[in-house]
Amino acid sequence: MTSALRFAEAAVASGHDLFRVFFFHDAVATGNAYTIAPQDQENLPKAWQSFAQQHKVDMVLCISSALRRGIVNKREAERYSLSGANALDSFDLSGLGQWVEAMLVSDRIMTFGA
Amino acid sequence: MASLLMICRKAPYGSSYAREAIDIALAASAFEVKVAMLFTDDGVLQLLKGQNTANTGSKNVEAVLSSLPLYEVAPILVNEDALAQRNLSVSDLNMAVELCRAKDVSALCAQYDRVLTI
Amino acid sequence: MDNATLHLVQQSASASSALRDCLASCQPADPIVLMHDAVYAALYKPADNEFYALRPDLEERGLLDRIDKAIHVIDYPDLVALSDRYRHNLSWF
């Protein structure tokens, strides 16, 4: 997911509008606030969070991918009676319709799968 | 009406890609996107007849895929080279499909507004 | 805008079928970008297509001075420009 972030930074820097970053499959871990990076390594969730705040980019965790992997925000934690939430505030949990909408309004979609 | 070609390359149970691809196809279809699916590489294994998930607790990919025509997902394309490499033929598949070759992928992509590999 | 398809190969050619499947499906005019572990395939040129490899991934793996001279080394802004130039891109992973 570092490469997706580097690509997103380069796209914004070269004047492109980034409509949405949709985190799908194992990439939903990027929204986990409880991620602790070793001291000499980049904390990817925090890096995405500051990127999104700086450039006002919409970031969405696929809700079914996230729930399956135990990543929930306050709303979902309450819905499923869980003791706490672990999704970073910068990420929304939402459905695949968000991906479809982004696909429809954007000139390009990029997939970072590895 | 926007169109989307989904190129499905993963075997059905080793990862959740196959199920997630189906979810994307249905979501796009609900947004009135014309969705086509191309099964190639290990993706052709998703279409095999006789998948039985009774003892594994997973969603039956064969059963879900067979409902795609109800959602007007069409055409369902299959790379016959990928079938042949796996010693399989259309008679091993659970639904009516259109056959294509690996080298047709670029020409197929050109017919759609958006393409996605999954 | 170019009607060839840009291919992004994202997994090692020896550990996954990503590169092989990409090569089976692509046209001679399609450019291919090697990234992540796929950059190991830059040690030899896998086919006659135009090949690009992502510099940070090459550097990380100690490959920058070892790759085939016919492969273009690119940075993220170049990848942005490539994806802008081609109508479709396909990721192989």
Stretch C3-9: mean pLDDT, rounded?
94
The burial class, CB within 10 Å (0-12 / 13-18 / 19+), for B113 is middle
SS3 per residue for C8-58: EECCCCCCCCHHHHHHHHCCCCCCEEECHHHHHHHHCCCCCCCEEEEHHHH
pLDDT of residue B1: 83
- Within 8 A of C5 by CB-CB distance, chain B residues are 105-106, 109, 115
CA–CA separation, B100 vs B82, rounded Å?
10
Asked if the structure places residue A111 within a domain, the reply is no
What's the Rg (C-alpha) of chain B?
A: 13
Q: Give chain B's length.
A: 118
pLDDT tens track for B24-42: 999 999 999 999 999 999 9
pLDDT, tens only, C17-68: 999 999 999 999 999 999 999 999 999 999 999 999 999 999 999 999 999 9
Helix (H, G, I), strand (E, B) or coil at A27: helix
- B22: Cα within 13 Å, side-chain hemisphere: 20
- Measured between CB atoms, does A101 come within 8 Å of chain B? yes
Instruction: Render pLDDT for A57-76 as a digit per residue (tens, 0 to 9).
Output: 999 999 999 999 999 999 99
Token couple for B19: 């199920």
Residue ranges covered by each domain of chain B: 3-117
> Which residues of chain A fall below pLDDT 70?
1
d(CA B55, CA C28): 46
- Return mean pLDDT, chain B: 95
- Torsion angle in degrees (nearest 10) through CA of A66, A67, A73, A76: 150
> B3-117, which class in CATH?
alpha beta
Residues of chain C with C-beta less than 8 angstroms from the C-beta of A113: 10, 91-93
Alpha-carbon gap: C14 to the closest alpha carbon of chain A (Å): 15
Closest by alpha carbon to B117, among C26, A88, A89?
C26
Q: In the prediction, which pLDDT does A114 show? A: 75
Q: How many CB atoms neighbour CB B104 within 10 A?
A: 17
Nearest by CB: A111 against C11, C38, C91: C91
Domain boundaries, position A65: 2-35+43-105
Of B16, B27, B117, the CB nearest to A100: B27
**CATH classification at residue A101:** 3.40.1260.10
Give residue A1's pLDDT. Answer: 67
User: Is B7 within 8 Å of chain C by CB?
Assistant: yes
Which pLDDT does position A63 carry in this prediction?
96
pLDDT digits (tens, 9 = 90+) for C65-87: 999 999 999 999 999 999 999 99
Whether B51 contacts B62, CB under 8 Å:
yes
pLDDT at C1: 59
Catalytic residue set of A: 62
> What domains appear along chain C, each with residue ranges and CATH number?
2-92 (3.40.1260.10)
CA distance B47 to B62: 6
Alpha carbon dihedral B16, B19, B25, B29, in 10-degree steps, equals -130
Q: How many domains does chain A have?
A: 1
A90 assigned to some structural domain: yes
Q: List subunits contacting chain C, requiring 3 or more Cβ pairs under 8 Å.
A: A, B
Contacts of C10 in chain A (CB under 8 A): 112-114
Percentage of chain C with pLDDT > 90?
Answer: 97
Contact B116, B108 (CB under 8 A): no
Question: Is A114 contained in some domain?
Answer: no
The reply to whether A13 falls in a domain is yes
- The ipTM is 0.94
> Would you tell me the crossing angle of helices C76-85 and A2-13 to the nearest 10 degrees?
70
